[in-house]
Amino acid sequence: MQGYDFIINTILAAGISILICIAMGPFMIPFLSRLKVGQNIREDGPKGHLKKAGTPTMGGIIIITAVMAASFIMAGASVEVLVAVLVMLAFGGIGFWDDYIKVVLKRSLGLRAREKVGLQLLVGILFALFLIFYLERGTTIIIPFSGNSIDLGFLYIPFLVIVLLSASNAVNLTDGLDGLASGVTFLVAMAFGIVSLMSAHYNLTVFCGAVAGACLGFLVFNRYPARVFMGDTGSMALGGAVAAVAAITRSELVLIIIGGVYVIETLSVILQIISYQATGKRIFLMAPLHHHFELKGWPEKKVVRVFWMAGLFFILLGLWSLKGLG
């Protein structure tokens, strides 16, 4: 892209993505309803969630379609965009399979843990090898707040695999309230659009615009009271997308800061499990953390707004951590 065309293209990509989501929703939601792919609701969760039983899930198909179309229309088939889309598709495909088993085949636990992790490992390893040997990205990563980088050498491959698995599953854990994951990921995608811009990965800036637009467009149907859920199809795809951008821009550690809401949600689950196994007591009323606040009596919309504000704080902190980077 020449001059500042990429800025216009990013705005257009976001707009196209929003419009595709808004256009697809009115026929995809009834279609998913007819397929009877309704969300299963935990009976031990907040009682207010029981009314959500049967709400169509797998709406991530809308998000993925919008991101792909907007990215290719406005950024073309550049290698960086293509690989980011492929990673998104791969993780979205794993999530789709998981959703299909749960809501269509009625096997409540979905993919077995070893199956899901095995597929994620395969995608992660292939992506790492592609970055190193085809894109010649190298094995360095940015150290936040330092203005420096560090070369991980052969450790980069397992490091990146962990980042990809963590990101996809963390977004999945965050997707527990109406509009929570889509709103937070809108902010995260906007932030990584800026990171891509700072690191001169202009086509990725356009891709991030498409992701942000898709999240915003999906919010039209996913905000409280949600008419559709993204399911594992959407949450894992979005996690893969932001992790792919972080990897290409060498900002994997910055993702931990920008995606602080994801990190907190994941840590709440880990701490809950450790505490219960070690002491028989739970730290939180329920994990992930957003359910804890619901059980404390917070309205769902308030929890979502607070987490969105926390997400905004984390992206500002993450962008500030790049200050002085040469």
What is the per-residue pLDDT across 148-158, written as a single tens digit (0 to 9) for each? 999 999 999 99
Share the mean pLDDT of the chain: 93
Q: What is the pTM of this model?
A: 0.94
pLDDT value for 145: 94
**Which carries the bigger pLDDT value, residue 86 or residue 111?**
86
Confidence of residue 309 (pLDDT cuts 50, 70, 90): very high
Pick from 29-38, 62-71, 254-263: least confident: 29-38
pLDDT number for residue 3: 45
pLDDT at 51: 72
24-29 — which CB contacts under 8 Å span 24+ positions? 24/62, 24/65, 24/66, 25/62, 25/217, 25/218, 25/220, 25/221, 25/227, 25/228, 28/59, 28/61, 28/62, 28/228, 29/56, 29/59, 29/221, 29/227, 29/228
Per-residue model confidence as pLDDT tens digits over 4-19: 788 899 999 999 999 9
Query: Which of 102-116, 125-139, 266-280, 291-305 is predicted with the least confidence, judged by mean pLDDT?
Result: 102-116
Asked if the model's pLDDT at residue 201 lies above 90, the reply is: yes
